[in-house]
Amino acid sequence: MVTSSRFEPLSRRELAVLVRELLLCGHLIDRSGMPHLIGAFGREGMTEVAIEEWMAASPVYTKRMQRALDFEGDGVDTLFKGMQIEIGAPPQFMDFRYSVTDHDHGEFWLDHCGALMDVEPMGDEYVTAMCHDVEDPTFDATALATNPRAQVRPVHRPPRRPADRHPHCAWQVTIDANNKPQPFPPRARTLAASAAGTVQLTPIDESEEGQGSYSGPLLADVRFEDFSHSALIRIAEEVCIQQHLLALGFLMAVRVRCDENQSLEIARKQLTGIAGLTSERIRDAMGLASDTDGLATVLALHPVLNPRQYVDAEILGGDRMRIRLGRGSGVDTDGGWPSWVTAEHLEPLVALVRGVNPAFDLRIVEDLPDSLVTEVVLGEVPAKEASEVALTRFSTGAGFAFSDRGMSLPLTVV
């Protein structure tokens, strides 16, 4: 299996754009999955799955990013750096602001919470489920990757009273030797030992122009354009792994609530929704055409098919474009996203290609134990958008536009 990164051909500017898109689309995985959980298990079941999936994934991917960008530590600034480069807090859409008092004390607040904007119209019960029931255990689970004695506690949070209260929420972080250490969640241990948790990704070349780590001071905003080419490749790969880990955590949580057939049905619906919307956003962010050339680029950059060290996928050119999914890579060992795509269930892959052009479709060329090959065909009329994609589009993140905030000031002294 070739292990060079599919992101290598992109420039630093293009990679910076892609990283922001990957972070936002990773966040929207839950918007894709939650409607189907509500239908299957109700609001309470949906809330429980959300808690369990994030507690399983976030400690693992937080530690991975700390190691990748050389900012491991046990203080509040390390915790905040990790939050700036994770799918739970995509920049601007989840506009986290930070203040560091000292090694053991700090605060963060959200000047804008896209997740709240999505959920507020659903009523206070859903807002409380997200901002209380889910956030309390999952913030602490994220924090334990930095320091098991860190506690994240609310200053105020929604439901908003008054209705236009700003910032949307505020939280205090305290590290105290007297705090009871947070245990590493059992499912996080499982994911830490998985192929996704242990995969070795593209090394960072410290000799390149640009920032090769985040070992300096905590910044108010991370400007991805300031990182080196290889650092951006590594960040993009790590963010893809974050998405795979969250999807695996999702499936683990669903499996204990229903049989295997229903679990995979719900998981495929989640994948279908986010695959289609992510294709569309990548196409638009990278300025690509809605033709086969544009599709080839989207396929090369799409998180479902990345990173190459974890997912065996090929885009085969020639007179006809074909997509080959290998069946022996790490993602197959884990039973992750591409393994849910079968000859009988092409829906996620069809949604992925139709995110570039709704007239695209797929036909099976070959279905073998070690690979599934499909061919891209162009229909005469655009297909109706899949209901799973339409449900994901409910999120304000679907049409969210990033802005250039310019230089970022340090929040901590070197």
pLDDT > 80? residue 319: no
Percent of the chain with pLDDT over 90: 95
pLDDT > 70? residue 16: yes
335: left (phi over 0), alpha (psi -120 to 50) or beta: left
Confidence of residue 290 (pLDDT cuts 50, 70, 90): very high
What are the domain boundaries of the chain?
282-398
What residue type is assigned to position 174 of the chain?
A: T
pLDDT for the residue numbered 405: 86
Whether 381 and 354 have beta carbons less than 8 Å apart is answered as no
pLDDT for the residue numbered 101: 96
pLDDT > 60? residue 46: yes
Confidence of residue 411 (pLDDT cuts 50, 70, 90): confident
pLDDT for the residue numbered 120: 96
Pairing of strands 94-102, 313-316: unpaired
Whole-structure pTM value: 0.97
Kindly report, residue by residue over 372-389, the tens digit of the pLDDT. 999 999 998 999 999 999
Task: Encode 44-80: b = buried (16+ Cβ within 10 Å), e = exposed.
Answer: ebbbbbbbbbbbbbbbbbbbbbbebbebeeebbbbbb
